[in-house]
Chains A and B, each alone.
Chain A
Amino acid sequence: MARLLEAVVAAIIVATALSVSYFYLLPTNPYVIRGGTDLEKYGFDTLNTLARQGGFDRVIFDASGEIVPNWDQQMRVVLGSIFPTGILFSMTVYNSTVNADRFVTLTPLPTNVSISNADASAFLNAGQVSQVTFIYTTKYINAPGKGFYVLVFDLQLARATRI
């Protein structure tokens, strides 16, 4: 009788444990679940490295703190040289401004070309898509009265093929 009771209790525990762990366990294909996170980390690492090395200041601004006219083309070249084949990217850079009512506005920096290596439909068909929001305050611009810009980067990354 005692053994039967033990077996029933154990069975209940096992069933409960399995049902609880079901909600936490990873899918069978770990590439699927890790793919999005890996892309996100990749995006953060890339932007962080560019920020630490002063890359954004050099690409977007000139020595007097003005926005370089063809900064978008340069940025596309920079990102294109960093991300390997098979990774799609699309970046939008916003300049943060605060008006007299202390309302924050994110205004896209003017661009002539899209900072992307694919059109929008490619992202719709991609296997994994991640989005990274990144804040950057200009650091290396010492022009009088200028040089304190707060930029917000919106970077979309995707794998070109479905998994």
Chain B
Amino acid sequence: MALLIFSVVISIYSASTSYQQMRYNQATETLNNFREDFGRALIGVLAKFTQRYNETAEMESPRILAYYLFSYWTMSASRAFAADGIQLNFTLSNVTLQYPGVFFGFNLTEARFTNNQLAQLFWYTPQSMSVVSASFDANLTGQGFYGWHEDALLLLNMTLDVPSIHQESINGTNYAVLNVYLNREYGQPVEDLSPSNFNIAYNDSVSKSWRNAIVSFLSNNGGGSYTLYLLNGTGQEIPSPYYKYLQVWAQDTRGIIVESNTYT
């Protein structure tokens, strides 16, 4: 008799587990879509934020644009999943991005935080970063699913190896050579850049102004490491010692821009 009761109890348990599993799958599909698109939206926000800042060199309108786009996405997502009874709460938090340290000769003296901002730029140093971060809590009441929490942090990080800058003669042409490292969130290396993804400026000693240099070619060393071979805008060498004082913009294939300087 005990065995009979035991087997019946197990059958109830397995039946209810199967039932919960079927419900869980439905919520999983919806949440996976929501999570992934949250990341896509934040990448779009950061791309537009950095592009606008690069055009205007002031922070007010890029920030307004970033919050507008984020708000646009959150309202659209709520509308799209209204039939699932979705309940959403978005928050911004203070995430530690970097602790103080020395990066290829650059001494980062203060830790970097997201500081409860949607998007942040840490530019104009040899180690620079463009960051977007946000979190959300979600319930899918229509599917009986509650309490999902998700944190998202997306970024583009560029480090200039300042001590590596030197001049190198190749086939009679004197190039300025610079090593740069790019990675994105979770330390993933940025592997798909070409010379058109970089913009370089150097200080011209004659006109006392910033002039564009060109990336004549680059070497993709793997792991997000690139060696840039630079000439001035007319294809001539950049005179010494000014090749050492560079501004470097990089834009990845997601459209996110980061700017670094070889000097501080």
Contact = CB atoms under 8 A, between A and B. Distances in A.
B8 A14 contact: yes
B18 A26 contact: yes
A78 interface: no
A134 B78 CA distance: 12
Interface stretch (B42-50, B114-122, B170-178): B42-50
Contacts of B69: 148
A54 to B, nearest CB: 10
A106 B4 CA distance: 56
B41 A44 contact: no
B15 A24 contact: yes
Contacts of B253: 140
Chain A interface size, as a band, is: 35 or more
A137 interface: yes
A18 interface: yes
A26 B255 CA distance: 49
A137 B80 contact: no
Chain B interface size, as a band, is: 35 or more
Contacts of A152: 76, 79-80
Interface stretch (A5-13, A69-77, A84-92, A115-123): A5-13
Interface in A24-56: 24-26, 33, 37, 40-41, 44, 47-48, 51-52
Interface stretch (B28-36, B100-108, B205-213): B28-36
B25 interface: yes
**Secondary structure class of chain B's binding surface, majority of residues:** helix
Contact of A137 (B26, B73, B75): B73
A128 to B, nearest CB: 15
A138 interface: yes
Nearest to A148: B44
Given A17-B9, A21-B11, A133-B81, A150 B1 contact: no
A138 B79 CA distance: 17
B137 interface: no
Interface of B: 1, 4-5, 8-9, 11-12, 15-16, 18-19, 22, 25-26, 29-30, 32-34, 36-37, 40-41, 43-45, 47-48, 51, 69, 71-73, 75-81, 83-84, 253-255
